[in-house]
Amino acid sequence: MLGDKLREAIAKLTGKAYVDEAAVKTLIKDLQKVLLASDVNVKLVFELSKRIEERALRSEKKEALTLKEHVVKVVYEELVRLMGDSYTPRIDKHKILLCGLYGSGKTTTAAKLAKFYKNRGLSVLLVGADVDRPAAQEQLRQLAEKVGARFYTTKADAAAIVREALKDAKEDVIIVDSAGRNAFDDQLAAELKAIYEVLKPEEVFLVITGDIGQVAGKQAAEFNSIVPISGVIATRMDGSGKGGGALSAVAATGAKIAFIGVGEKIDDLEIYKSEKFVGRLLGMPDLETLMEKIKQVAKEEDLKKIESEGLTIETFYEQLKAAKKLGPLGNVFSMLGVNNIPKDVLQQSEEKLKKYEAMINSMTKAEKKDPKLIRSSKGRLARIAKGSGCSENDVREFLSQFEKVEKMMEKFQKDRGFRTKMEKMLKGMPPGVM
């Protein structure tokens, strides 16, 4: 996922003892790879890189920030910019036309929007103008009932349905669900135009799925050439690794992203805020929290310790604690570039961590150094379980998590010249650069 990879790229920078021009360039290269992989347009990635490089290395560094903090702030701000402006919904009497291709999520989104405006005290009429698929009308009728909005449709062509619906509509918000196509074509264009003329909507939302990546930009431009799109709603942002690609492509066309769909349920709709979107990718609610974390990230000593002693049960435990407190930005594994450690290993509950600490306290020095001793001795296992007030299964679980990570570290050391990498990372730059 885009978020994981972005966090790793930034963690690599924050894990460095010294940040210099080369480190910034490496970060930019990593960012490029990550963004291209989630289908962000090449040109946009190039522009973003250029801006980050310029701002990070050549311009306004605030005195109070270290270079490392400054760079991360610039990256955050540029990502927010890449992902477009935030949206402020109208909370007044208005008419909405939803358009988009088959299966993009129009009908579901119509119901989500109905709930959204109802929650804000507005009455809502849902108009079924998808005359292509009879089942679509029934789908919307049922959803309308579920959210408590009035539903209207009749047997006619789309524009006529809308005309009839408008006749005695008294609701504050009128939402029209239109028919899709497999691909954009003249017939769809004509139908949308006709609805548009009759409805005269204040908002025209194009519904797209986040998983189409940068094609979303082209789609937005196509639809916009037929009816003036006032906002894009990107659905399935809950499951798509290409969501960032879709949003950035839409933003680049100048179209606004209005809402994002984040699940199949009626409440899974969010007003689009690019800061929030980027914040979530980075695992931080906002820039301030991000800056706080950077100040606290794992120390050089942690890196050195793992290098000189290898992974011990104690360094492992320390990293579990750090991962809980600081997230990926602060954990040594991701700084070392060992990225595929399973989430459930890194994200432990408070309760579990307490148990682990108690287990470690019940281990002998030799056991801590070589946990295999515990595995192979029933007596040791029982002693540690008893001493820490845990079950033997708990102890086994902790051991197997440790072994999993140990195996990955070993593989990593073999694969990639761990020593050289560590040395480079620790030496970083002549002291004084930062």
106 contact partners, CB below 8 Å, separation of at least 6: 98, 99, 100, 130, 177, 178, 180, 207
Phi and psi dihedrals of 96, rounded to 5? -125, 130
Residue 263, interface with ligand GDP (CB under 6 A)?
A: yes
- Closer of 73 and 106 to Mg ion (Cβ): 106
Q: What residue 261 binds from Mg ion, ligand GDP, none (CB within 5 to 8 A, per partner kind)? A: ligand GDP
Task: With contacts defined by CB under 6 A, name the span among 27-35, 96-104, 117-125, 370-378 that binds ligand GDP.
Answer: 96-104
The correct pick among 206, 262, 297, 336 for binding ligand GDP (CB under 6 A) is 262
∠ CA 397-403-406, rounded to 5°: 145
What is the spatial distance between Cα 390 and Cα 377, in angstroms, rounded to a whole number?
17
Task: Answer for the pair 434, 294: CB distance below 8 angstroms, yes or no.
Answer: no
Task: With contacts defined by CB under 5 A, name the span among 3-11, 51-59, 85-93, 105-113 that binds Mg ion.
Answer: 105-113
Residue 261, interface with ligand GDP (CB under 6 A)?
A: yes
Q: Cα 206 vs. chain centroid, distance in angstroms?
A: 21
Residue 242, interface with ligand GDP (CB under 6 A)?
A: no
Task: With contacts defined by CB under 6 A, name the span among 263-271, 279-287, 331-339, 368-376 that binds ligand GDP.
Answer: 263-271
**What number of other Cβ atoms are within 10 A of residue 212's Cβ?**
22
Residue 102, interface with ligand GDP (CB under 6 A)?
A: yes
Residue 137, interface with ligand GDP (CB under 6 A)?
A: no
Task: Answer for the pair 335, 298: CB distance below 8 angstroms, yes or no.
Answer: yes
Phi and psi dihedrals of 233, rounded to 5? -110, 120
User: By rule CB under 5 A, what count of residues binds Mg ion?
Assistant: 3
Q: What residue 44 binds from Mg ion, ligand GDP, none (CB within 5 to 8 A, per partner kind)? A: none
The correct pick among 41, 107, 214, 348 for binding Mg ion (CB under 5 A) is 107
Side by side, which strands form the sheet with 203-209? Answer: 150-152, 124-129, 173-178, 94-99, 203-209, 231-235, 257-261, 269-271
Task: With contacts defined by CB under 6 A, name the span among 232-240, 305-313, 337-345, 419-427 that binds ligand GDP.
Answer: 232-240
- Closer of 203 and 302 to ligand GDP (Cβ): 203
H, E, C per residue of 18-87: CCCHHHHHHHHHHHHHHHHHCCCCHHHHHHHHHHHHHHHHHCCCCCCCCHHHHHHHHHHHHHHHHCCCCC
Phi and psi dihedrals of 305, rounded to 5? -60, -45
Kindly state the DSSP code that residue 181 receives in the 8-state scheme. -
* Residues from 192 through 211 that contact ligand GDP (CB under 6 A): 207
Residue 270, interface with ligand GDP (CB under 6 A)?
A: no
Residue 153, interface with Mg ion (CB under 5 A)?
A: no
Residue 219, interface with ligand GDP (CB under 6 A)?
A: no
The correct pick among 136, 192, 216, 335 for binding Mg ion (CB under 5 A) is 136
Residue 38, interface with Mg ion (CB under 5 A)?
A: no
Here's the x/- map for ligand GDP, 352-381, by CB under 6 A: it reads as ------------------------------
Residue 134, interface with ligand GDP (CB under 6 A)?
A: no
Minimal distance in Å, beta carbon 311 to ligand GDP? 38
Task: With contacts defined by CB under 6 A, name the span among 73-81, 104-112, 222-230, 244-252 that binds ligand GDP.
Answer: 104-112
Long-range contacts of 45-54 (CB under 8 A, 24+ apart): 48/78, 48/79, 48/82, 51/78, 51/81, 52/24, 52/28, 52/78, 53/24, 53/25, 53/28
Q: Residue 48: name the closest of 280, 252, 259, 210 by CA.
A: 252
Residue 104, interface with ligand GDP (CB under 6 A)?
A: yes
Q: What residue 102 binds from Mg ion, ligand GDP, none (CB within 5 to 8 A, per partner kind)? A: ligand GDP
Q: Residue 409: name the closest of 332, 357, 356, 328 by CA.
A: 332
Residues that bind ligand GDP (CB under 6 A): 100, 102-108, 180, 207, 235-236, 238-239, 261-264, 268
**Which residues form the interface with Mg ion (CB under 5 A)?**
106-107, 136
